[in-house]
Amino acid sequence: MRNPNANGRLRAEFLRQYGKPLERVRGARAARGGSIQQLYRDSDGKLIRLRTSMDGVLVTKAIGPNPYDADAPVVLEGCQDFIGFAMPEPRGTVVCFLIPNDRAIADIKEVHGRWLVMKPGGESDVRALFFYGEVEMHGKPWYGFQHLYAKYRLQAPEAPAASGDASMENLTVIIDRIEGSNVQEVRGAIKEVLVALRPLLDRGLRIRVTRAQQAEEDWG
């Protein structure tokens, strides 16, 4: 059973990787009626329509009087400038893309047109781009879009590096339940820890040792 919060995590990670504040836009009309659910505006006025997929597939449906036509309009068409796409990677990280709207819509329609050539008489209102596999894998044009869109991939902002002389006066390390058969053995273990942490102690780090819930000693 899938985690019901998984798509919320993907959305949150896209907003983080985008790196700039995004304002939620409500009430924008969707192609098939109703309103677009995940539409955002950045500080430059650009509109981003965000889609997430646990399966790594950007999927939409065709609409209109003949949804089986290669050029039929699709639900994903709209007022946005970009389509944001977020999906999980095998190791638990999240990969995000910011794809120009015109490019994504054109590729969705081209892939379906090629599918129709491969499947004469085929009918489907589903349109999909697969963000896994290799480009044109098994001769199928819908695979490998994580490679084709590599230049649109967002780079997660890196955490600022800690300054070499940053103060650690507000940090405390707690050492609890040191195993040893006698007092000397325990004191020896504590001394090893203090030696390893000496550079941090000089910058204000505090160490607290807790012994059998009876007494606490401050070190440092």
pLDDT tens per residue, range 184-208: 666 766 666 666 677 777 667 776 6
Radius of gyration of the chain from Cα atoms? Answer: 27
Per-residue model confidence (pLDDT) at position 216: 37
Amino acid identity of residue 85, one-letter, is F
Q: Are residues 141 and 207 in the same domain?
A: no
For position 166, what pLDDT does the model report?
A: 58
Q: What is the mean pLDDT of residues 102-113?
A: 95
Residue 167 covered by a domain: no
Q: What does pLDDT average to over the chain?
A: 82
At 118, is the pLDDT very low, low, confident or very high (cuts 50, 70, 90)? very high
Residue 216's contacts (CB-CB under 8 Å, 6 or more residues apart) are: 208, 209, 210
> Are 213 and 147 part of one and the same domain?
no
| pTM reported for the whole predicted model | 0.69
Residues 147 and 210 in one domain: no
Task: Tell me if 10 is assigned to some domain.
Answer: yes
Backbone angles phi, psi at 13, to 5 degrees: -70, -35
CB 22 within 8 A of CB 154: no
- pLDDT, tens digit (0-9, with 9 covering 90-100), for 51-96: 999 999 999 999 989 999 888 999 999 899 999 999 998 888 999 9
Give the structural domain span for 51. Answer: 6-152
pLDDT > 50? residue 159: yes
Tally of domains within the chain = 2
pLDDT of res. 29: 80
Same domain assignment for residues 148 and 202? no
Residues 6 or more apart whose Cβ sits within 8 Å of residue 186: 178, 180, 211
Query: Is residue 210 domain-shared with residue 118, that is, in the same domain?
Result: no
Amino acid 219: pLDDT: 37
Flag whether pLDDT at 217 surpasses 50: no
pLDDT-derived band at 140 (thresholds 50, 70, 90) equals very high
Return all residues near 77 (Cβ < 8 A) that are at least 6 apart: 31, 105
10-61 pLDDT, tens digit per residue, is 999 999 999 999 999 988 888 777 778 899 999 999 999 999 999 999 999 9
Segment 194-197 long-range contacts (CB within 8 Å, at least 24 positions apart): 194/219, 197/173
Asked if residue 168 has pLDDT above 70, the reply is: no
99 and 203 share one domain: no
Widest distance between CA atoms in the chain: 85
Q: For residue 90, is it within any domain?
A: yes
Query: Residue 159 falls within a domain, yes or no?
Result: no
Average pLDDT over residues 146-171: 73
